[in-house]
Protein backbone atom coordinates (compact mmCIF):
# COMPACT_ATOMS: atom_id res chain seq x y z
CA UNK A 1 0.00 0.00 0.00
CA UNK A 2 1.33 3.43 -0.93
CA UNK A 3 1.39 6.51 1.32
CA UNK A 4 1.64 9.56 -0.89
CA UNK A 5 2.43 13.24 -0.43
CA UNK A 6 1.02 15.44 -3.22
CA UNK A 7 2.39 18.98 -3.65
CA UNK A 8 0.33 21.61 -5.48
CA UNK A 9 -2.79 19.64 -4.56
CA UNK A 10 -5.09 22.64 -5.08
CA UNK A 11 -4.12 22.97 -8.74
CA UNK A 12 -5.79 21.64 -11.88
CA UNK A 13 -4.27 18.14 -11.68
CA UNK A 14 -4.00 17.90 -7.89
CA UNK A 15 -7.68 18.67 -7.23
CA UNK A 16 -8.66 15.50 -9.06
CA UNK A 17 -5.59 13.34 -8.52
CA UNK A 18 -5.89 13.51 -4.71
CA UNK A 19 -9.51 12.35 -4.85
CA UNK A 20 -8.67 9.45 -7.18
CA UNK A 21 -5.63 8.40 -5.14
CA UNK A 22 -7.74 8.42 -1.95
CA UNK A 23 -10.29 6.14 -3.64
CA UNK A 24 -7.51 3.68 -4.46
CA UNK A 25 -5.15 3.90 -1.48
CA UNK A 26 -7.47 5.18 1.27
CA UNK A 27 -8.03 8.71 2.64
CA UNK A 28 -5.36 8.50 5.34
CA UNK A 29 -2.70 7.44 2.84
CA UNK A 30 -2.89 10.51 0.61
CA UNK A 31 -1.56 13.73 2.12
CA UNK A 32 -2.56 16.76 0.08
CA UNK A 33 -0.43 19.88 0.34
CA UNK A 34 -0.47 23.33 -1.18
CA UNK A 35 0.95 26.77 -0.52
CA UNK A 36 -2.51 27.90 0.62
CA UNK A 37 -5.58 26.33 2.18
CA UNK A 38 -7.70 24.59 -0.44
CA UNK A 39 -11.42 24.02 -0.60
CA UNK A 40 -13.50 21.23 -2.08
CA UNK A 41 -12.94 17.49 -1.94
CA UNK A 42 -9.16 17.76 -1.44
CA UNK A 43 -9.90 19.23 2.01
CA UNK A 44 -11.73 16.01 3.02
CA UNK A 45 -8.59 14.24 4.18
CA UNK A 46 -5.07 14.94 5.46
CA UNK A 47 -3.89 18.36 4.31
CA UNK A 48 -0.78 20.43 5.08
CA UNK A 49 0.43 23.85 4.01
CA UNK A 50 3.69 23.32 2.10
CA UNK A 51 5.65 25.91 0.17
CA UNK A 52 7.85 23.86 -2.17
CA UNK A 53 10.62 26.46 -2.02
CA UNK A 54 11.04 25.42 1.66
CA UNK A 55 12.87 22.09 1.62
CA UNK A 56 12.77 21.72 5.40
CA UNK A 57 8.98 21.91 5.39
CA UNK A 58 8.62 19.29 2.63
CA UNK A 59 11.00 17.03 4.57
CA UNK A 60 9.09 17.49 7.83
CA UNK A 61 5.68 16.71 6.33
CA UNK A 62 7.01 13.72 4.39
CA UNK A 63 8.67 12.38 7.56
CA UNK A 64 5.76 13.08 9.92
CA UNK A 65 3.34 11.19 7.67
CA UNK A 66 5.90 8.49 6.82
CA UNK A 67 5.15 8.68 3.13
CA UNK A 68 6.84 6.39 0.62
CA UNK A 69 5.91 8.38 -2.50
CA UNK A 70 5.84 12.03 -3.49
CA UNK A 71 3.91 13.41 -6.43
CA UNK A 72 5.29 16.83 -7.09
CA UNK A 73 2.77 18.97 -9.00
CA UNK A 74 3.41 22.50 -7.70
CA UNK A 75 4.60 24.65 -10.62
CA UNK A 76 3.86 27.80 -12.62
CA UNK A 77 2.51 27.19 -16.13
CA UNK A 78 3.84 28.52 -19.44
CA UNK A 79 2.09 31.88 -19.85
CA UNK A 80 2.63 32.89 -16.21
CA UNK A 81 6.27 31.80 -16.38
CA UNK A 82 6.79 34.12 -19.38
CA UNK A 83 5.53 37.05 -17.30
CA UNK A 84 7.71 36.33 -14.24
CA UNK A 85 10.62 34.20 -15.50
CA UNK A 86 12.88 34.55 -12.46
CA UNK A 87 10.09 33.56 -10.07
CA UNK A 88 9.17 30.68 -12.39
CA UNK A 89 12.73 29.41 -12.22
CA UNK A 90 12.74 29.67 -8.42
CA UNK A 91 9.44 27.84 -8.01
CA UNK A 92 9.69 25.33 -10.85
CA UNK A 93 13.36 24.42 -10.48
CA UNK A 94 13.80 25.21 -6.78
CA UNK A 95 10.64 23.29 -5.87
CA UNK A 96 11.67 20.32 -7.99
CA UNK A 97 15.20 20.21 -6.58
CA UNK A 98 13.91 20.45 -3.00
CA UNK A 99 11.37 17.68 -3.52
CA UNK A 100 13.92 15.44 -5.24
CA UNK A 101 16.31 15.98 -2.32
CA UNK A 102 13.61 14.91 0.13
CA UNK A 103 12.91 11.86 -2.06
CA UNK A 104 16.61 11.00 -1.97
CA UNK A 105 16.90 11.47 1.79
CA UNK A 106 13.78 9.49 2.65
CA UNK A 107 14.02 6.99 -0.24
CA UNK A 108 10.66 7.95 -1.79
CA UNK A 109 9.22 7.01 -5.15
CA UNK A 110 8.88 10.22 -7.15
CA UNK A 111 6.54 11.56 -9.85
CA UNK A 112 6.57 14.93 -11.53
CA UNK A 113 5.00 16.00 -14.82
CA UNK A 114 6.90 17.39 -17.76
CA UNK A 115 5.00 18.88 -20.69
CA UNK A 116 4.77 19.32 -24.45
CA UNK A 117 6.33 22.68 -23.47
CA UNK A 118 9.67 20.86 -23.15
CA UNK A 119 9.87 20.96 -26.95
CA UNK A 120 10.79 23.98 -29.04
CA UNK A 121 10.61 25.39 -32.56
CA UNK A 122 13.44 23.18 -33.86
CA UNK A 123 11.75 19.97 -32.63
CA UNK A 124 9.99 17.90 -35.35
CA UNK A 125 6.40 19.20 -35.19
CA UNK A 126 4.36 16.17 -36.23
CA UNK A 127 4.33 12.88 -34.39
CA UNK A 128 7.20 14.28 -32.30
CA UNK A 129 9.42 11.34 -31.26
CA UNK A 130 10.07 10.38 -27.64
CA UNK A 131 13.78 11.12 -28.01
CA UNK A 132 14.39 14.20 -30.10
CA UNK A 133 15.81 17.70 -30.27
CA UNK A 134 14.69 19.82 -27.26
CA UNK A 135 15.63 23.50 -27.49
CA UNK A 136 12.55 25.23 -25.97
CA UNK A 137 12.34 29.02 -26.18
CA UNK A 138 10.16 29.66 -23.11
CA UNK A 139 11.12 29.78 -19.43
CA UNK A 140 8.57 27.02 -18.76
CA UNK A 141 10.16 24.88 -21.47
CA UNK A 142 13.65 25.49 -20.10
CA UNK A 143 12.34 24.45 -16.66
CA UNK A 144 10.69 21.34 -18.05
CA UNK A 145 13.74 20.10 -20.00
CA UNK A 146 15.98 20.81 -17.01
CA UNK A 147 13.49 19.00 -14.80
CA UNK A 148 13.48 15.94 -17.06
CA UNK A 149 17.28 15.82 -16.93
CA UNK A 150 17.34 16.39 -13.17
CA UNK A 151 14.94 13.49 -12.59
CA UNK A 152 17.08 11.25 -14.81
CA UNK A 153 20.12 12.38 -12.83
CA UNK A 154 18.56 11.55 -9.46
CA UNK A 155 17.73 8.08 -10.74
CA UNK A 156 21.16 7.43 -12.28
CA UNK A 157 23.22 9.02 -9.51
CA UNK A 158 21.23 8.20 -6.36
CA UNK A 159 18.81 5.46 -7.44
CA UNK A 160 15.69 7.57 -6.68
CA UNK A 161 12.72 5.89 -8.41
CA UNK A 162 11.79 8.94 -10.49
CA UNK A 163 9.01 8.69 -13.08
CA UNK A 164 7.19 11.24 -15.26
CA UNK A 165 5.19 12.02 -18.37
CA UNK A 166 5.07 14.91 -20.82
CA UNK A 167 1.49 16.12 -20.44
CA UNK A 168 -0.40 17.76 -23.27
CA UNK A 169 -2.89 20.54 -22.43
CA UNK A 170 -5.21 19.04 -19.81
CA UNK A 171 -8.95 19.53 -20.05
CA UNK A 172 -11.25 19.20 -17.07
CA UNK A 173 -14.48 20.56 -15.60
CA UNK A 174 -13.40 20.26 -11.97
CA UNK A 175 -10.65 22.84 -11.35
CA UNK A 176 -9.60 25.48 -13.87
CA UNK A 177 -6.05 25.57 -15.20
CA UNK A 178 -4.22 28.82 -14.47
CA UNK A 179 -1.69 30.61 -16.61
CA UNK A 180 -1.24 28.00 -19.33
CA UNK A 181 -1.15 28.35 -23.11
CA UNK A 182 -3.65 25.54 -23.63
CA UNK A 183 -6.23 27.02 -21.17
CA UNK A 184 -8.45 28.09 -24.09
CA UNK A 185 -9.45 24.47 -24.53
CA UNK A 186 -11.11 24.55 -21.10
CA UNK A 187 -12.53 28.09 -21.32
CA UNK A 188 -14.24 27.30 -24.63
CA UNK A 189 -16.52 24.74 -22.92
CA UNK A 190 -17.55 27.09 -20.10
CA UNK A 191 -18.31 29.89 -22.58
CA UNK A 192 -20.19 27.46 -24.84
CA UNK A 193 -22.56 26.73 -21.95
CA UNK A 194 -22.74 30.31 -20.63
CA UNK A 195 -22.89 32.36 -23.85
CA UNK A 196 -22.89 29.96 -26.81
CA UNK A 197 -19.82 31.79 -28.13
CA UNK A 198 -16.11 32.10 -27.43
CA UNK A 199 -13.24 34.33 -28.56
CA UNK A 200 -10.05 32.30 -28.84
CA UNK A 201 -6.67 33.82 -28.01
CA UNK A 202 -5.04 31.02 -30.03
CA UNK A 203 -5.24 31.36 -33.82
CA UNK A 204 -7.24 29.12 -36.12
CA UNK A 205 -5.11 26.24 -37.41
CA UNK A 206 -2.80 26.08 -34.37
CA UNK A 207 -2.64 22.42 -33.43
CA UNK A 208 -1.55 21.29 -29.97
CA UNK A 209 -1.93 18.03 -28.07
CA UNK A 210 -4.72 17.90 -25.49
CA UNK A 211 -5.95 15.25 -23.07
CA UNK A 212 -9.05 14.77 -20.92
CA UNK A 213 -8.23 14.67 -17.21
CA UNK A 214 -9.41 11.06 -16.53
CA UNK A 215 -6.82 9.81 -19.06
CA UNK A 216 -4.13 11.95 -17.43
CA UNK A 217 -4.91 10.62 -13.94
CA UNK A 218 -4.99 7.04 -15.17
CA UNK A 219 -1.58 7.58 -16.81
CA UNK A 220 -0.01 8.81 -13.56
CA UNK A 221 -1.34 5.88 -11.57
CA UNK A 222 -0.42 3.32 -14.22
CA UNK A 223 3.12 4.66 -14.60
CA UNK A 224 3.69 4.72 -10.84
CA UNK A 225 2.51 1.11 -10.57
CA UNK A 226 4.49 -0.04 -13.62
CA UNK A 227 7.16 -2.72 -13.41
CA UNK A 228 10.43 -0.74 -13.14
CA UNK A 229 12.36 -3.34 -15.13
CA UNK A 230 10.23 -2.48 -18.19
CA UNK A 231 10.91 1.27 -18.01
CA UNK A 232 13.58 2.45 -20.39
CA UNK A 233 12.70 6.15 -20.30
CA UNK A 234 11.35 6.54 -16.73
CA UNK A 235 10.94 10.32 -16.91
CA UNK A 236 9.25 12.41 -19.55
CA UNK A 237 7.22 9.83 -21.46
CA UNK A 238 5.33 11.42 -24.35
CA UNK A 239 1.62 10.74 -23.87
CA UNK A 240 -0.93 11.83 -26.45
CA UNK A 241 -4.69 11.66 -26.89
CA UNK A 242 -6.13 14.50 -28.99
CA UNK A 243 -4.28 16.73 -31.45
CA UNK A 244 -6.60 19.68 -32.07
CA UNK A 245 -6.88 23.31 -33.15
CA UNK A 246 -9.60 25.74 -31.94
CA UNK A 247 -11.97 24.93 -34.84
CA UNK A 248 -11.90 21.23 -33.91
CA UNK A 249 -13.32 22.15 -30.48
CA UNK A 250 -15.89 24.43 -32.11
CA UNK A 251 -17.06 21.65 -34.45
CA UNK A 252 -17.28 19.14 -31.60
CA UNK A 253 -19.29 21.64 -29.50
CA UNK A 254 -21.61 22.48 -32.41
CA UNK A 255 -22.76 18.83 -32.45
CA UNK A 256 -24.47 19.63 -29.12
CA UNK A 257 -24.92 23.43 -29.37
CA UNK A 258 -25.45 24.18 -33.09
CA UNK A 259 -25.57 27.97 -32.55
CA UNK A 260 -22.10 28.01 -30.93
CA UNK A 261 -19.84 30.63 -32.53
CA UNK A 262 -16.05 30.82 -32.41
CA UNK A 263 -14.18 34.05 -33.13
CA UNK A 264 -10.50 34.92 -32.77
CA UNK A 265 -8.54 37.65 -31.03
CA UNK A 266 -5.01 36.33 -30.93
CA UNK A 267 -2.78 36.99 -27.91
CA UNK A 268 0.73 37.30 -29.41
CA UNK A 269 2.50 36.03 -26.27
CA UNK A 270 0.53 32.81 -25.94
CA UNK A 271 0.41 32.35 -29.72
CA UNK A 272 4.20 32.49 -29.89
CA UNK A 273 4.42 29.84 -27.19
CA UNK A 274 1.87 27.64 -28.98
CA UNK A 275 3.73 28.03 -32.29
CA UNK A 276 6.89 26.73 -30.65
CA UNK A 277 5.19 23.51 -29.46
CA UNK A 278 4.48 20.32 -31.46
CA UNK A 279 1.25 19.72 -33.40
CA UNK A 280 1.13 16.14 -32.15
CA UNK A 281 3.47 13.88 -30.20
CA UNK A 282 4.18 10.16 -30.52
CA UNK A 283 3.33 8.15 -27.40
CA UNK A 284 4.54 4.73 -28.56
CA UNK A 285 7.28 4.47 -25.88
CA UNK A 286 4.64 4.92 -23.12
CA UNK A 287 2.40 2.38 -24.85
CA UNK A 288 5.19 -0.18 -25.15
CA UNK A 289 6.89 0.31 -21.78
CA UNK A 290 3.87 0.58 -19.45
CA UNK A 291 0.73 0.14 -21.54
CA UNK A 292 -0.47 3.75 -21.82
CA UNK A 293 -3.73 4.06 -23.77
CA UNK A 294 -5.98 7.15 -23.84
CA UNK A 295 -9.72 6.39 -23.76
CA UNK A 296 -11.18 9.79 -24.68
CA UNK A 297 -11.25 11.34 -28.16
CA UNK A 298 -12.49 14.91 -28.72
CA UNK A 299 -16.15 13.90 -29.23
CA UNK A 300 -16.42 11.74 -26.14
CA UNK A 301 -14.64 14.36 -24.06
CA UNK A 302 -16.80 17.21 -25.43
CA UNK A 303 -20.06 15.42 -24.61
CA UNK A 304 -18.96 14.84 -21.03
CA UNK A 305 -17.46 18.33 -20.56
CA UNK A 306 -20.67 20.03 -21.75
CA UNK A 307 -22.90 17.82 -19.60
CA UNK A 308 -20.81 18.28 -16.45
CA UNK A 309 -20.35 22.05 -16.87
CA UNK A 310 -24.07 22.53 -17.53
CA UNK A 311 -24.79 20.62 -14.29
CA UNK A 312 -22.18 22.63 -12.38
CA UNK A 313 -23.48 26.00 -13.56
CA UNK A 314 -27.16 25.21 -12.87
For residues 240 and 169, the answer to whether their CB atoms sit within 8 Å is no
How far is Cα 111 from Cα 70, in angstroms, rounded to an integer?
6
Pick the piece of the chain touching ligand AKB (CB under 6 A) from 51-59, 154-162, 179-187, 238-246: 179-187
Q: Cβ closer to ligand AKB: 13 or 18?
A: 13
Q: Does 77 bind ligand AKB (CB under 6 A)?
A: yes
Q: Does 241 bind ligand AKB (CB under 6 A)?
A: no
Q: Give backbone dihedrals phi and psi of 76, rounded to 5 degrees, phi first.
A: -95, 140
Pick the piece of the chain touching ligand AKB (CB under 6 A) from 18-26, 41-49, 115-123, 259-267: 115-123
Q: Cβ closer to ligand AKB: 47 or 173?
A: 173
Q: Does 116 bind ligand AKB (CB under 6 A)?
A: yes
Selected binder of ligand AKB within 115, 172, 206, 235 (CB under 6 A) = 115
Closest CA to 11 of 92, 116, 66: 92
Pick the piece of the chain touching ligand AKB (CB under 6 A) from 34-42, 95-103, 112-120, 302-310: 112-120
How far is Cα 56 from Cα 78, in angstroms, rounded to an integer?
27
Q: Work out how close the CB of 179 gets to ligand AKB at its nearest, in angstroms, rounded to a whole number.
A: 7
Q: Which residues contact 188 (CB under 8 A, 6 or more apart)?
A: 198, 200, 246, 249, 250, 253, 262
How far is Cα 164 from Cα 114, in angstroms, rounded to an integer?
7
Q: Cβ closer to ligand AKB: 9 or 171?
A: 171
Selected binder of ligand AKB within 95, 180, 246, 278 (CB under 6 A) = 180
Q: Cβ closer to ligand AKB: 78 or 279?
A: 78
Q: Does 78 bind ligand AKB (CB under 6 A)?
A: yes
Burial of 256 (0-12, 13-18, 19+ CB in 10 A): middle
Site string for ligand AKB, 130-169 (x = CB under 6 A): ----------x--------------------------x-x
If binding means CB under 6 A, how many residues of this protein chain bind ligand AKB? 12
Among all residues, which ones are annotated catalytic?
A: 140
For residues 200 and 169, the answer to whether their CB atoms sit within 8 Å is no
Q: Does 181 bind ligand AKB (CB under 6 A)?
A: yes
How far is Cα 54 from Cα 176, in angstroms, rounded to an integer?
26
Q: Give backbone dihedrals phi and psi of 167, rounded to 5 degrees, phi first.
A: -75, 140
Selected binder of ligand AKB within 15, 92, 162, 182 (CB under 6 A) = 182
Q: Which residue's CB comes closest to ligand AKB?
A: 180
Under DSSP, the state recorded for 29 is G
Describe the strand order of the beta sheet including 237-238 as a list of residue ranges. 114-115, 165-167, 237-238
Q: Work out how close the CB of 222 gets to ligand AKB at its nearest, in angstroms, rounded to a whole number.
A: 20
Burial of 308 (0-12, 13-18, 19+ CB in 10 A): middle
Q: Work out how close the CB of 108 gets to ligand AKB at its nearest, in angstroms, rounded to a whole number.
A: 24
**Which residues contact ligand AKB by CB under 6 A?**
77-78, 115-117, 140, 167, 169, 177, 180-182
Amino acid sequence: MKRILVTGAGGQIGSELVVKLREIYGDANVIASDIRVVEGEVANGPFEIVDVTDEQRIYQVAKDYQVDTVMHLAALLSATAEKIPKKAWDINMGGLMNTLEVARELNLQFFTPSSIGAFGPSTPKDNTPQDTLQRPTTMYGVNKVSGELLCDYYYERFGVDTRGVRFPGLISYVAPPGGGTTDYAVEIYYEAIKQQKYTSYIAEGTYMDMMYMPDALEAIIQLMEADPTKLIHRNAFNIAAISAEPMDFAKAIQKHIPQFELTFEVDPVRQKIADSWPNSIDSSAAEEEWGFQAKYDIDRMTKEMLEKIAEKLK
